[in-house]
Structure 1
Amino acid sequence: TKLAESVELEIERRMAETDPVNGLASLEPTPQLGERYVEHLAALVPPRLDYSSYRLVVDCANGAASRVAPQLFARLGIHAEVLHAAPDGRNVNRDCGSLYPEKVARATRAAGADLGVAFDGDADRAIFALSDGRIADGDFVLYAAANYMEDRGALRGGAVVGTLMSNFGLELALGRRGIGLKRTAVGDKYVLEEMLRSGSNLGGEPSGHIIFADLSLAGDGLVTLLEMLRIMRETGQGFAQIVSGLNPFPQRIRNVRVREKPPLEAVPGVGSALAACRSELGERGRVVVRYSGTEPVARVMVEADSAELVDRHVTRIAEAIVRALGTEESET
C-alpha cells in the first residue's frame, strides 16, 4: 500500500536531518523471488481457463517485466512476441514501453495478434493495443473491468475510482450502466486512498495504473493483463468488443512553464478564460488546470464533444497563463 502523505513528509524531514551514510550498501541477488512472483501470477488464473490460443505482442520497456513476463507466458501457454526485454541498466523506458504505445500498436497490427500490451519500467502500468493498431489507455481497462464486475455483482462501492484526468467519456459510459465515477487528485496513491475510504474495489488512471483491490492494493501491469485476458475468455469476446461501449471525448493537454505558482483562478485573465470555457462547455466537457507537483509547470486540460472547442479553449487558457506569468509555453 502507499504511505500516507504525512508519513512521507516525516520521512523526508528525518532524512534531511541525518548525515549521508558513508560507503555503499550491497544487495544479494535472490532469483527465487522472481520465480515465486510468477507462481503467484499464474495462480490468479482460474484452472478452467485456457489462454493458449491467444497471440500477444508485449513491450517490456527494458524493465522489470523483461524476465518475468516471458516466464509467465510460457507457464500459461500464451504465444507472445516480446519486445524491448534486454535491460542493461540504462535503457529502461528509452523509446519503448507504455510511454511510447504507438510502437507496440504498430507491432500488434503487423503481427495480426489478438492483443498488444506495453508496460512501463517498473511494470505497474499497462497500456493496450487492439489488433487493428488502436491504442487503449487505462480508461478502457476500467470500463471493461467495471462492466464485467457489475454483470457478476462483484463491483463494490457503487463506483469506480478515477482521477481528474479520467476522460469524461468514461464517466458517461459508466453512468449508462448506473456506475459512478469518483475522481481524485492525479496519482495512484490518491486513487487507493479513495478506494479504501469508499469500499470500491476497482480504480485507476489513464496512464495505466489499475488497482484490482480484490487481488492487490498496488497497481501491477501483469495483473492488469491477466484480468483483461480473463474477461475476454469468460465473455468469449475480443478486446475490441469488451471496450466498445467507451467513446472518449477529444482531449488536449498543454504544459505552461511558470515562474511562480499563485492560485490560477485568481490570476488576471486566467480566471475569465476559465469561466468562459466552463460556460460554453456546460455539460459537454470539462476543464482542469493544475500545477505540477515536481516542476514549474501549469497543466491545462480541456475535453469536450468537439475537437474545435477543445483546441480553442486550451489555446485561450494557456495563452492567458503565459501573458500573466511571463513565461514560455511548451506543449506535450
Structure 2
Amino acid sequence: MGKYFGTDGFRGEANKVLTVEHAFKIGRYLGWYFGQDHKAQIVIGKDTRRSSYMFEYALASGLTASGADAYLLHVTTTPSVSYVTRTEDFDCGIMISASHNPYYDNGIKLINGQGQKIEAEIEKKIEAYLDGETEELPLAVRGEIGRTVDYSAGRNRYIGQLISLATRSFKGKRVGLDCANGSASAIAKSVYDALGAKTYVISNEPDGININTNCGSTHIEQLQAFVKEKNLDIGFAFDGDADRCIAVDENGNVVDGDLILYVCGKYLKEQGRLNHDTVVTTVMSNLGLYKAFDKAGIDYEKTKVGDKYVYENMSQNNYSLGGEQSGHIIFSKHATTGDGILTSLMIMEAVLEKKQSLGKLTEEVKIYPQLLKNVRVSDKTAAKTHPAVVKAIEDVEEALGQEGRILVRESGTEPLLRVMVEAGTDELCEKYVHQVIDVMKEEGLVTE
C-alpha cells in the first residue's frame, strides 16, 4: 500500500485528496516512463462523475506534454479499458473512476499492457515524482509533442466482444438492468438489445452527480422492487465503473457475488470448463458457499480481500473463475479484471443452457447470517495479537464448531479491526461479535 495508491488506484475526494495537479503529473510521468525508447500510446476511459472530465483533460495534457499520444475512450467501463489496453497493444491504460463511491470522490486506476493492475514498483515511482523526490521531467517540444485521439472505436470493439460471447439468443427473456447512472449506461442496454432480450433499464440517465445515488449494486433494493413490479425474469445491477455485478432472481431475491460464484462454478464444472475444479474466493465469502461447493465437488482457494489478490491467485494457478462477495467476478478466459456486464452474460448462459431460473439455480446454497463490525484501535497488530483477544477468538471458534466461523482482520487503510461472525442465527452473530469486542474494550485496546 503506497502513500497515494491503494489496492484500487489513487482515490479520494476530487480536488481535495486527488487534485487536478496530481492527474497532470501522473500523466507527465506515465508519458515519460513509457516513452523512453518509443512514442508511448496510452488509452484513457472515464465514468460519469462531473470531475472525470476535468481529470481526463489533465491526464491527457500531462501525457502529451511528455510526448505520449493519449487515446480517449470517453465514458466507458473499467473492464473495457483493460480489454482495449490488452488487445490493442497500448503501453498503459488509465481509468478515471471511484467505482461505487459517491460522486464527489474520484480515482485514477492504472492498467499495464497485459490488462492487469499496474505493477506496484511503477506506482512507487509515480509517488516519488508527485512528492518532488525525483528530477523534473523534460517537456516534449516541436514534433515530439503528443496527440490526443478520439478512440470511441475501441469502446465499440469491446461491446462487440461482449455480444460475441453469448452462446445463444436472449429472445423472450425479460431482463432488468440498473446502470447506477454510471459507466454501464453507455454499454449495457445496447448489448442486451443486440442479443434479443426484452430490456428494461433504470438509473441510466447520468448527470454528473447522481452516479451510485440510491441505485446500482450498492443499493440493490431499487432493482429488487423493479424486477417484481415489471415481473421480470432476472435483473442485474452494476456499480459506477461496471466492474461489479449483483443479480436479482425472478422472485426479487438478491444473488450476490458468492451465489454468482456458485451458479457459474457449478455450471462450468458440468461443462468441463472449470480449471482444476476450483474457484478462487476471498476470506469474506460465506460459509454457506463453501458447504455448497463441498457438496458439488468443487474445490476453493481463499485470498485476502481485493480482486487484485483473487486474480493473482488465478493467474498463478491457471484457475478459470474467482471473485468476491461484492460482485467482482473474474472469468480468466475472457478478462483479467472483474467485469459486471460480462458476469451478467455468463449468468444468462447458465440460466439458458440449464433451462432453469436463477432462483432455482441458487436454492441449494444456504447462506449463513453474517455480521461485520469495525473496531477503531490504536494499534491494529497489537490489538489482534493481544493474548486476551486471541483467547476470545478461540473461544468463539470452539463454540461455533462446524456451524459458523469468526474472522478478525486488519483494515488495509484505517486503524480498524474488522470482526466478522457467521452463525446459524442473527442473534448468535451479534452475541459472538460483541463477545470479542467487549474483550478488546476491557483490555483498553479500543480508541472510540
Normalised to the residue count of structure 2, the TM-score between the two structures is 0.68
Letter in structure 2 aligned against 1:326:
V
1:258 aligned residue: 377
CA distance in 2 between partners of 1:63 and 1:37 (Å): 17
| Deviation of 1:10 (Å) | 4.7
> Is 2:12 the partner of 1:12?
no
Change (3 A) 1:169 1:9: farther
| Deviation of 1:11 (Å) | 4.3
Cα deviation per residue 1:147-196 (whole Å; 9 max; x = unaligned)? 11111211112311000001111111011122111100000010011111
- What pairs up with 1:315-330 in 2 under 5 angstroms? 315-323=434-442, 324-328=444-448
2:36 aligned residue: none
**SS at structure 2 position matched to 1:300:** strand
| Deviation of 1:106 (Å) | 1.3
| Deviation of 1:293 (Å) | 1.1
2:164 aligned residue: 43
Letter in structure 1 aligned against 2:238:
F
Asked whether the 8 Å contact 1:251–1:303 carries over to 2, the reply is yes
**Which of 125, 141, 155 pairs up with 1:34?**
155
Asked whether the 8 Å contact 1:98–1:118 carries over to 2, the reply is yes
Moved more, 58-67 or 266-275: 266-275
> Is 2:187 the partner of 1:68?
yes
CA distance in 2 between partners of 1:286 and 1:7 (Å): 38
1:97 aligned residue: 216
2:67 aligned residue: none
| Deviation of 1:77 (Å) | 1.7
Task: List alignment gaps of at least 5 residues for structure 1.
Answer: none
**SS at structure 2 position matched to 1:97:** coil
Cα deviation per residue 1:263-296 (whole Å; 9 max; x = unaligned)? 4332353222211111111222211111211222
| Deviation of 1:7 (Å) | 4.9
Letter in structure 1 aligned against 2:219:
Y
Higher-RCO chain (CA-CA 8 Å, sequence separation at least 6): 1
| Deviation of 1:67 (Å) | 1.3
CA distance in 1 between partners of 2:354 and 2:390 (Å): 48
**Which of 207, 221, 226 pairs up with 1:88?**
207
Change (3 A) 1:28 1:3: closer
CA distance in 2 between partners of 1:297 and 1:214 (Å): 37
2:361 aligned residue: 242
**SS at structure 2 position matched to 1:122:** coil
Asked whether the 8 Å contact 2:257–2:329 carries over to 1, the reply is yes
1:3 aligned residue: 118
Moved more, 310-319 or 134-143: 310-319
**Which of 246, 249, 256 pairs up with 1:137?**
256
Normalised to the residue count of structure 1, the TM-score between the two structures is 0.91
Bigger radius of gyration: 2
CA distance in 2 between partners of 1:106 and 1:296 (Å): 37
Letter in structure 1 aligned against 2:389:
V
| Deviation of 1:88 (Å) | 2.2
Cα deviation per residue 1:31-88 (whole Å; 9 max; x = unaligned)? 3233222111101112xx1102111111111111001112112211211221111222
Moved more, 148-157 or 268-277: 268-277
CA distance in 2 between partners of 1:92 and 1:252 (Å): 28
Alignment size in residue pairs: 324
Moved more, 195-204 or 260-269: 260-269
Change (3 A) 1:214 1:310: same
| Deviation of 1:20 (Å) | 9.2
1:173 aligned residue: 292
Cα deviation per residue 1:96-136 (whole Å; 9 max; x = unaligned)? 11111111111111111011111000100000111211111
CA distance in 1 between partners of 2:207 and 2:378 (Å): 37
Asked whether the 8 Å contact 1:264–1:289 carries over to 2, the reply is no
CA distance in 2 between partners of 1:136 and 1:214 (Å): 23
Change (3 A) 1:265 1:298: closer
1:188 aligned residue: 307
Moved more, 259-268 or 159-168: 259-268
CA distance in 1 between partners of 2:264 and 2:301 (Å): 16
1:119 aligned residue: 238
| Deviation of 1:320 (Å) | 2.9
Asked whether the 8 Å contact 1:52–1:79 carries over to 2, the reply is yes
Task: List alignment gaps of at least 5 residues for structure 2.
Answer: 1-115, 140-145
2:389 aligned residue: 270
**Which of 155, 158, 174 pairs up with 2:277?**
158
CA distance in 1 between partners of 2:148 and 2:441 (Å): 48
Asked whether the 8 Å contact 1:264–1:271 carries over to 2, the reply is no
Asked whether the 8 Å contact 1:128–1:135 carries over to 2, the reply is yes
Kindly report the root-mean-square deviation, in angstroms, between the aligned alpha carbons of the 2 structures.
2.2
| Deviation of 1:312 (Å) | 0.6
Moved more, 244-253 or 304-313: 304-313
Asked whether the 8 Å contact 1:204–1:211 carries over to 2, the reply is yes
Superposition misfits of 4+ residues, deviation over 6 angstroms: 19-22
Aligned residues: percent identity?
A: 37
> Is 2:173 the partner of 1:54?
yes
Asked whether the 8 Å contact 2:384–2:417 carries over to 1, the reply is no
